[in-house]
A and B are shown apart, each in its own frame.
Chain A
Amino acid sequence: MSRPWTLPLPLRRNRPAGADGRPPRGHGGQNPWQVLKRRFHSGELGSVPVVLGLLVVWIIFESLNSNFLSPRNLSSLSVDIVGIGMISTGVVFVLLLGEIDLSVGSVSGLAAAAFAVLNINQGMPEGFALLLAVLGGTLIGAVQGFFFAKVGVPAFVVTLAGLLGWYGLMLYILGASGTINIDDKGLVAQLTGFYFTHVAAAYGLAVLGTAGYFLASYLDVRRRRAAGVPARPMGEIALRTGVLAAVSLAAAAVLNQFQGLPLALLIFLVFLVGLDHVLRRTRYGRMIFALGGSVEAARRTGLNVALVQISVFMISGTMAAIGGLFLASRVTSATQTSGSGNLLMDAIAAAVIGGTSMFGGRGRTWSALLGVLVIQSIASGVALMGIQTAVQFMITGGVLLLAVVIDSLSRRAQRSHGRV
């Protein structure tokens, strides 16, 4: 008997399945508009919306008050962003899992208080107290991660308990006085107080960063060409390098007009570059992304799911503690209000505004920088104009809503694009 159900073979064979039958591409060599369109459909808009948003915010505030873009204000902005930015960078990691960490505000306050108590009240050397405060954040993250990953309590609830519990612990260790001033010449105070005043520092960093970026991109293209894999056109790399050079040199020029390169900004950038490297270039980072995409798929590849989840909460706790120390450094004290107020919401909002998805699996550390720039710019602009903070909340709320809408839309576009 023949095979009555067989489709005629010639029909099924060697039919190009792609839309156009062209070979698969890597980074396509299309014009920028097509690239943007494709990126939107694949849900990979990246940082385009937030950069546009930041420009709009700056233009509006500058037109309302010409002091906004003054070197003094921008320099102060570049230091103000670091505390929240560090916390927000940790939040990016948790968001990549598709989870949330509500405890970061309290943990940052607790770390500041712990440092102040250990250093000022107990007389412990500063470096040691700082290390213990940061490791305390790591430990808190490990505990919360354990309850989430091993016990199976939703992250939302675990970290909500943390939000209350760690805040309580902070009040407890601060004791009756409620405020501990830290040494304003000390190590922690210098974190936000020190500036590399020599002109060469800021320019050098800008040149070095740009050159590093160009070199990495160039070597990548060379390897790709040698391997016969699609590569970014050199024109695109030149353009990106040019933009990066312009932005970083302009920032350096502005900073040099005031006090030079702030140490805080340098540390923040080092963290961003390092953690970005971890996320995108290492196997560990790939695991985090995989967990954000599908826990089950990651598990089937033999990945130790719980271990990675716990480690991510540890990163979040550590970064919260580091951020808390920078915030304490800015006001040279640890107080009962450290880590409270809208710090938590700002840190999470910054990550989301910067383009990290609330749904998990999409985001970069740079979104913390961009998002916190938007939030602090609004705060600084509102303060300059002497309007009530009420307005600041409303504007930040609106921006956050916009960011989440963009996130949801691009996600939906991606889904519907898939089901052709």
Chain B
Amino acid sequence: MSAPPLLALRGIFKRFGAVHALADVELEIRGGQVVALVGDNGAGKSTLVKVIAGVDPADAGVIEWEGRPVHIGRPHEAQDLGIATVYQDLALCDNLDVVGNVFLGREIQRRGLLDEVEMERRTLQLLESLAIRLPSVRLPVASLSGGQRQTVAISRSLLGEPKLVLLDEPTASLGIEQTAQVLDLVEQLRERGHGVLLISHNMGDIKAVADWIAVLRLGRNNGFFDVTTTSHEQIIASITGASDNAVTRRATPGWEVET
């Protein structure tokens, strides 16, 4: 491919005391691609997200944004580049309505006062462009369902027209119907040309929306797979490390880990 990837991580190291949380991690994400980041608990997924989001910068390694090396040391530096992060615990204010939450911290003002009309118009526009249907944008988000709240959190992250969206476990604790709602939204993001990094434990979700799967194991890359050509078992083996095992390697001689 000719164009440089949206985001490329090269040789990322992150250490907490004696523990190597991330060691020599590589990752590439292109616009219009959904890359799933999977791995067992403690594999370094959240650490990697924090590195990209600028919450907890890397100790060593290069981050390239659209081909040029950048330094992401603080959350707003990531936001300025065009990286939006939706954390697992949503970070919504239950008492504010949908409009208030979408524009929280970025309120539009008119003559020094909040411009509710313009914010409401843009919220409706944003929700419509994402085919999200809510009973009302003037309801406090406390009265929305879990899936609706997640869609609000995701659409809020899109307000600054980010190029890359990091989604940390967006479907955890959601029902089937609500999960489908969120996955719809992830596909919308891809169709709109956003790059998406999706962290998930749910192999079903990943198979449903991801284009590529990046596996982390014990803080290292342990495979980068094309979803369409990789079996469920291969991914699981890569996550659990079963493929490191000599016996497994012998049993599946035709397959190699792509890096």
Contact = CB atoms under 8 A, between A and B. Distances in A.
Partners in one complex: yes
Nearest to A27: B138
Interface residues of A, number: 62
Interface string A355-394: 0000011100000000000000000000000000000000
A63 interface: no
Contacts of B117: 220, 223-224, 227, 229
Contacts of A27: 138
B146 A419 contact: yes
A302 B105 contact: yes
Contact of B145 (A286, A361, A418): A418
Given A2-B228, A294-B91, A361-B94, A18 B135 contact: yes
B227 A419 contact: no
Interface stretch (B203-211, B215-223, B239-247): B203-211
A5 B132 CA distance: 24
Contacts of A292: 93, 95
B180 A297 contact: no
Interface in B79-111: 87, 89-96, 100, 104-107, 109
Given A3-B208, A293-B95, A298-B93, A44 B133 contact: no
Nearest to A225: B117
Given A281-B114, A289-B96, A298-B93, A417 B143 contact: yes
B76 A302 contact: yes
Contacts of A16: 133
Contact of A289 (B93, B105, B146): B93
Contacts of A26: 120, 136-138
A282 B133 CA distance: 28
Nearest to A295: B93
What is the predominant secondary structure among interface residues of chain A facing chain B? loop
Given A5-B203, A290-B96, A418-B143, A282 B91 contact: no
A15 to B, nearest CB: 8
A3 B228 contact: yes
B100 A17 contact: no
A255 to B, nearest CB: 31
A122 to B, nearest CB: 40
A290 B93 contact: yes
A277 B149 CA distance: 28
A2 B229 CA distance: 7
Given A13-B184, A23-B133, A286-B114, A294 B204 contact: no
Contact of B93 (A6, A23, A297): A297
B227 to A, nearest CB: 6
A283 B146 CA distance: 27
B145 A420 contact: yes
A19 B207 CA distance: 28
A301 interface: yes
Given A290-B96, A293-B93, A302-B76, A414 B143 contact: yes
A229 B143 contact: no
A25 B135 contact: yes
Interface in A286-339: 286, 289-290, 292-294, 296-298, 300-303
B135 A19 contact: yes
B237 interface: no
A1 B229 CA distance: 5
A5 B232 contact: yes
Contact of A5 (B75, B93, B124, B207): B207
Contacts of B96: 286, 289-290, 293, 361
Contacts of B104: 286, 290, 297-298, 301
Interface in B191-205: 203-204
A248 interface: no
B3 interface: no
Interface string B13-42: 000000000000000000000000000000
B114 A43 contact: no
A12 interface: yes
A4 interface: yes
B161 interface: no
Nearest to A25: B136
Contact of B136 (A28, A280, A282, A293): A28
Contacts of B89: 296
B142 A17 contact: no
B140 interface: yes
B230 interface: yes
A14 interface: yes
Contacts of B107: 283, 286
Centre residue among B87, B96, B147, B208 by max chain A CB count within 10 A: B96
B121 A283 contact: no
A419 B145 contact: yes
Report the 5 A-B pairs with minimum CB-CB distance, sorted nearest first.
Answer: A301-B105, A293-B93, A5-B207, A361-B95, A18-B133
Interface of B: 75-76, 87, 89-96, 100, 104-107, 109, 112-114, 117-118, 120-121, 124, 127-128, 131-140, 142-149, 151, 180-181, 183-184, 203-204, 206-208, 227-232
Interface of A: 1-7, 11-19, 21-28, 41-44, 220, 223-224, 227-230, 277, 280-283, 286, 289-290, 292-294, 296-298, 300-303, 360-362, 414-415, 417-420
Given A1-B229, A5-B203, A26-B120, 4 more contacts: A24-B134, A290-B93, A298-B104, A418-B144
28 contacts: A3-B227, A5-B206, A16-B133, A17-B133, A18-B133, A18-B135, A24-B134, A24-B136, A25-B137, A26-B138, A41-B143, A42-B143, A227-B117, A229-B120, A286-B114, A290-B96, A292-B95, A293-B92, A293-B95, A297-B90, A297-B104, A300-B87, A301-B104, A303-B105, A361-B95, A361-B96, A414-B142, A420-B145
